[in-house]
Amino acid sequence: MGAVALFYAGYFGALGLYWPYFGPFLRELGLGAGAATEVLALAPLCGLIAPPLAGLLADRRRARSLLLRALSVGAAATFVGFLVVRGPAVILVALAFAICRAPLVALADASAVEAAGSSYGRLRAWGSLAFLVAAAGGGEIAARVGLHAVFAAGAIGLGISALATQRVPPPSTPPERQSRPGSLRRLAPFLVAAALAGFANAAYDAGFSLHLERIGLGGRFVGWAWSLGVVSEVGLMAISGRLAARVGAERLFAGALAVGALRWTALAFVRAPALILALQPLHGITFGLFWAAGVATAHHRGGPEAPAATQGLFNAAVSAGSTLGMALAGRALELAGGTGLFLGAAVAAALAAGIASRLRA
């Protein structure tokens, strides 16, 4: 279990250095706005395709550990390309990195749930904590040394995650049981709910900071608000296993979505800084518990025949909703303001909660 926790810490720590600064870094490498947008679009595109395909291959060939190790090394190696490549060739580096990176979380989650069971959330919380520390430290590194140093630190994080995967144990399920995910009839409602949740959460990911700036709460307040949310995420992920054991993963999943509908409704109308900060600990529920319960639900509903493929489908469903949500978030904010943006997210979350409430273990 320690190897999986170290993988999460190294991987999400690297993402904490990568995502916030990738756009400015691309401009520093000489890419125009159009090319930079194309590069940024590679990650969600690969997130739709690569996780379920890699998961299916991992299960059918009983090669989950091998794929996790190979793709982790590939992600670390291709990331180094950002430090040495200039101009349009960066697009090829970004594509290779996106392909290697996209299936990693689904493969690691399948290993973590198998190894840790209900303690999965405690392992995954190390990733959220590392992301928080890295994102905060990345700003200081960028200011003092520059963006290249930020990406060099990200390469180190990915190197740590790649080394950690070498100690992740192979699947315990016998080869003859490895075939395909559970029936689509059993998985489909869960995946629809996950996609709707991804759509709703995209309003926060893409629009929250812009919304705060529009209502006069930019600058340091944005950082405080985001940090408070991630701290709550770490804490609730760490105890998610105990909560799931009490109420069941499916009920916890549905409950997290229902809280999301309430959170987005409140955020649509609240403008007072203190009240916005008071809402931020709900991020621990709307993402932390949502993700931990979603991984557990995918494990239950997919069955032991294809754990990696089912986790890949869960990842792809969330990515599909998130991709669409991010594409629409900016326009929704322009046309309807924060009120319209977050009310739309609330409707999507409420629909997801309604579907999830009918799931049975």
DSSP structural state of residue 89:
G
Distance CA 232, CA 276 (A): 14
What stretches of the chain adopt beta strand conformation (E)?
Answer: none
Residues 96-142: pLDDT tens digits?
Answer: 999 999 999 999 999 999 877 778 999 999 999 999 999 889 888 98
User: In sequence order, which residues have a C-beta less than 8 Å from that of residue 193 and are 6 or more positions away?
Assistant: 253, 254, 257, 352, 353, 355, 356, 359
What percent of the chain has pLDDT above 70? 94
Residues 191-245: pLDDT tens digits?
Answer: 999 999 999 999 999 899 889 989 999 778 988 998 899 999 999 999 999 999 9
Looking at the structure, give the CATH architecture of the domain made up of residues 184-356: Up-down Bundle (1.20)
Residue 54 CA: distances (Å) to CA of 12, 40, 178, 292: 20, 22, 14, 21
Note the pLDDT of residue 340: 96
What end-to-end distance do the CA atoms of the chain give, in Å? Answer: 26
Report CA dihedral (66, 50, 6, 294) to the nearest 10 degrees: -120
Residues 275-286: pLDDT tens digits?
Answer: 999 999 999 999
Pick the closest to residue 283 from 249, 232, 241 (CA basis).
232
- Which region among 24-38, 66-80, 90-104, 150-164 has the lowest average model confidence (pLDDT)? 24-38
Q: What is the CATH code of the structural domain delimited by 2-177?
A: 1.20.1250.20
Are 2-177 and 184-356 in the same CATH fold?
A: yes
Tokens 């990200």, located at residue: 154
By the 10 Å C-beta count (0-12 exposed, 13-18 middle, 19+ buried), 96 is classed as middle
Residues 54-77: pLDDT tens digits?
Answer: 999 998 888 999 999 999 999 999
DSSP structural state of residue 272:
-
Residue 324 backbone phi and psi in degrees, to 5: -65, -45
Distance CA 302, CA 176 (A): 16
Residues 308-341: pLDDT tens digits?
Answer: 999 999 999 999 999 999 888 888 998 999 999 9
Domain boundaries in the chain? 2-177, 184-356
Six-digit token string for 170: 């192979």
b vs e for 136-167, b when ≥16 Cβ sit within 10 Å of the residue's Cβ?
Answer: eebeebbeeeebeebbbbbbbbbbbbbbbbee
SS3 of 199-247: the string is HHHHHHHHHHHHHHHHCCCCCHHHHHHHHHHHHHHHHHHHCHHHHHHHH
Distance CA 23, CA 206 (A): 14
* Mean pLDDT score, 29-40: 72
What is the CB-side half-sphere exposure of residue 185 using CA atoms within 13 A? Answer: 0
Note the pLDDT of residue 165: 95
Pick the closest to residue 21 from 3, 4, 36 (CA basis).
36
